[in-house]
Amino acid sequence: MKTPCSLVLALAVAAVASVTGQTIDLSRYRLVDLSHGYGPSTLYWPTSTTKFSLTRDADGPTPGGWFYAANTLSTPEHGGTHLDAPRHFSEKGRTTDQVPLEQLVAPAVVLDVTKEAAANRDYRLTREAVLAFEKAHGPIARGSAVLLRTGWSRHWPNAKAYLGDDTPGDTSKLSFPSYGVEAARLLVEERGAAALGIDTASIDYGRSTDFQVHRVAAARNVPGFENLTNLDQLPVRGAVVIALPMKIEGGSGGPLRAIALVPR
């Protein structure tokens, strides 16, 4: 008899098979956790007025003699490993609860720019870099979740190293790598990417003041997966991403538990 955990996993695998057309034997895959945990050290955008809070409402024995625990949690939508719904930067964009599952469960394509990011923390992925990737690895198929690996999750949760500055309320000195707008246009408008993901705080680079990548993605109802981790454990192709956010009605984003199924 299946345990609840294995049943959930089996249902997730069935969803992947339905979306991607693949038949998946779990024994042939390993699971990779792509999410940071939520807690006191979770990083948020500097303008967030609150952070993660967990209040223990009950945690101990009951009068009836059994143990019981329950908590109340509070968090901004945009912090930790989270989803950016299109609504975040588009008045007509889909809200968190409206993002189709086909964009949350998708084949992954991983672009590795760790060398470029190490040399320049303000690096932005270029259109030319995407075309060079395709020349080496083949075209990026429509419906792929494109994940940009910068190596930045190694800095988590050191705010100054990760964001470039740790001054509360001030975004003027942020510095970290991400997508460039022309690369985003290629991926979203021409390749039909299902989602853009990254292991930094934003799909726009840290020094951005106009958030063009967010706007390009939101205009096509393409969500973003931000503050991912463990992208170094994924192959260039072959993995399947399952990125399921808290289903917040009318939300502009939300906490995200993202995993990948990687062929053994």
Tell me the per-residue pLDDT of 120-170, one tens digit each, with 9 for 90 and over. Answer: 999 999 999 999 999 999 999 999 999 999 999 999 999 999 999 999 999
Query: For the chain, what is the radius of gyration of the CA atoms?
Result: 19
Domain limits of the chain? Answer: 25-263
Active site residue 88: yes
pLDDT tens figures, 220-232: 999 999 999 999 9
Give the lowest-confidence range in 5-9, 145-149, 165-169, 181-185.
5-9
Question: What are the E-state strand segments in 102-190?
Answer: 105-112, 124-125, 145-149, 178-179
Superfamily of domain 25-263: Putative cyclase (3.50.30.50)
Return d(Cα 223, Cα 50) in angstroms, integer. Answer: 23
CB atoms within 10 A of CB 182: 17
Q: Do strands 253-263 and 29-33 pair parallel, antiparallel, or not at all (unpaired)?
A: antiparallel
For range 188-193, the mean pLDDT = 98
For residue 12, give every residue at least 6 positions away whose Cβ sits within 8 Å of its Cβ, in sequence order, or none. 105, 242
d(CA 11, CA 264) in angstroms, rounded, equals 20
Catalytically annotated residue among 78, 82, 88, 214:
88
Hey, how many other C-beta atoms are within 10 angstroms of the C-beta on 158? Answer: 12
Half-sphere exposure (Cβ direction) of 252: Cα atoms closer than 13 Å: 12
Burial per residue of 128-151, b for 16 or more beta-carbon CB atoms within 10 angstroms, e otherwise: ebbeebeeeeeebeebbbbbbbbb
pLDDT score, position 112: 98
Nearest by Cα to 137 from 236, 261, 233, 260? 236
Phi and psi at residue 231, to the nearest 5°: -65, -20
Give CA–CA dist 207/220, Å, rounded: 23
